[in-house]
Each structure stands twice: as structure tokens, then as C-alpha cells.
Homo-oligomer: A and B are copies of this chain.
């Protein structure tokens, strides 16, 4: 029940989700009096698909991960993850403090055997309106050795295959050049490991400008690089939109005409709207955890809930585990 916009957006997203999926059951974790008050405000004293669990603590946005693990055992975030651990929930969705969520989830759920570190992964739009690209890691791990990058490639490949139904997803490493000699030893070793695995359709190095074309379905990098790339995307998209607005409004005549053109511009915005791409998944854990933007609105949280539902239906953690076991069995 975190997030910058307050609990009412979470409640309204929850109501949207249960109305959309009659088989979905949501357990809201947080201050029960606040949840009840918000439900009432939205004209529901109770909903058959929604239950709630009281939490007396809140993980604040500036809580350090270690603080959150040790000192916030009765927080809404911890309780939600505990429910997944206990099998009482099949997935956890949170828009709270990312670092704390990562640490608590890692601490409580543990990683899948063979996975050293969980990763944050999200879908981004591409030139092709029908196609997304999955980028990982988006900030869970500042540094990654070649083994970890290799595991990210494997996990990303499973997620893209299962969630987006891509046959043999093209997996690439994000580098500062497409040539084999470019980049660090770590990335070159990761490339060799990915190339070696016949289960992974490894397509080589790609550069920042390749994220949005058809070169890859899954792009792997360390969390620092992924975080910068993701936020740079957001920054450029915002700047282009604001510059276009300025230019469209720069004369009266065009201002009138621009009104007629708001539809395609809105359509463009919608096709690139971060809300519909909301929901970075924390993969590599023995359970499903989806991170929503801190400042997500109800539509964005709804998108994150739907992402979690998809991962439950497609049994993503089980499939990652299966692929890893297969790989270990096949290893010479």
C-alpha cells in the first residue's frame, strides 16, 4: 500500500483489477483503518474478491535496505512478501521503496537454485507497435560479473518467451559497440557463456540505439547501466514531447490546427505511456514480485497487477528453475 500518491490510487487499481478478472483475489496489506476508509470512499464497504491484512509499520522511501529488513517486520511490504513465502499469495505487487523491496524479497523468498542474484526487468516499447523489448537489470545490482550477466540472459529469455509468447527470444548484451573487441572482460566472458548455451538464442552485442529496433527481444546489462539507460529513455521522451508542444504552439494558426492533431499525439503518448509499461518484475526469486513506479497512478498499478497475474499463470519462476536445471544437467 505504498507509493507516492497515497492509498486511494492503490485501492482504485485493486477495484479495477478485480472487476477485470473475476477469478482474481487481492489481499491488501497496510493500515486496515486506512484501507477500510478508502474502500468506503469508493463506495465499497467490502468486496468479495478483496481482503486485507493489517500492518502497523510502513517502509519509508528513505529507509535503507538493512533497516527495512531488521526494523520493519510488521510493515505492509514485509507482510505482502511473507504471504508469498507462506503460499497464501501467489505474487506481491508493491510501489514502495525499490531497494527495500529488493532486499526484503531476496531475504524472505531466496533465489531459485542456480541464480546468484535477482534482477529487475521491464518491457519497453520499440519501433514496432506490436513488439516490446525486455531490459535487465534495471538497478537491483550495481555490478555484475559474467556469471550473473549470463544468468540474467537466461532468465530474461524465459520471461520474454512466457510472458510475451516469443519463440526463441533474441538475447543480446548491451555494450559500447557492436564489435566483439568492445567493452570489458566481464561482458566478453558473459558473451562467451551465452553463446555456448544452445537453449539461448544469443545474438551478440547491441548499443544504446539498438534497444528500440528489432535486434533483440531481451537486452542484458548491469544494474547501473540499465538504470541509466531506462531513465535516459524517460528523459528524452519527455523532452521530445515538450519540445513538440512548444513548436506546435508557437503560432496562432498552428495552435488551432494542433487541436485537430491532438488525437495522433495522444495516440503516440499512449503507445509510449510509461503507465502501460509499469511493472518491473523482480526475477530469479522463488516467488513473483512486481515493482510498480513510486508515483504510479491507478492505471499504472493496474498494469503492474496484470503483469503479476501473467507471471503467475505462466509459472515464470518454475520455468526459470526448470531451464537452469536442464542447463546444469547438460553441462559437460
Contact = CB atoms under 8 A, between A and B. Distances in A.
Contact of A224 (B176, B247, B260): B176
Contacts of A232: 208-209, 211, 229, 232-233, 236
Contacts of A247: 264-265, 267-268, 271
A239 B127 contact: yes
Taking residues whose C-beta sits less than 8 angstroms from the other chain, chain A's interface range is 35 or more
A125 interface: yes
Contact of A236 (B62, B139, B223, B237): B237
A310 B96 CA distance: 48
Contacts of A268: 240, 243-244, 247
A6 interface: no
A231 interface: yes
Interface stretch (A75-83, A103-111, A250-258): A250-258
User: Quick one: which of A64, A177, A225 has the most chain B CB within 10 A?
Assistant: A225
B143 A184 contact: yes
A125 B64 CA distance: 35
Contacts of A223: 176
A114 interface: no
Interface string A298-310: 0000000000000
Chain A interface, >50% SS class: helix
A230 B243 contact: no
B235 A209 contact: yes
A272 interface: yes
Contact of A208 (B126, B177, B235, B240): B235
A221 interface: yes
B227 A229 contact: no
Contacts of A126: 239
A208 B226 CA distance: 10
A181 interface: yes
A257 B248 contact: no
A133 to B, nearest CB: 11
Interface string A248-291: 10100010011011011101100110000000000000000000
B235 A264 contact: no
Interface string A117-139: 00000000111010000000001
Contact of A230 (B139, B208, B240, B258): B208
The 6 closest A-B pairs by CB, nearest first: A208-B231, A209-B235, A208-B232, A247-B264, A176-B227, A236-B236
Given A209-B232, A240-B241, 12 more contacts: A208-B228, A211-B232, A232-B232, A236-B236, A240-B272, A244-B268, A247-B264, A247-B267, A248-B261, A257-B260, A257-B261, A261-B261
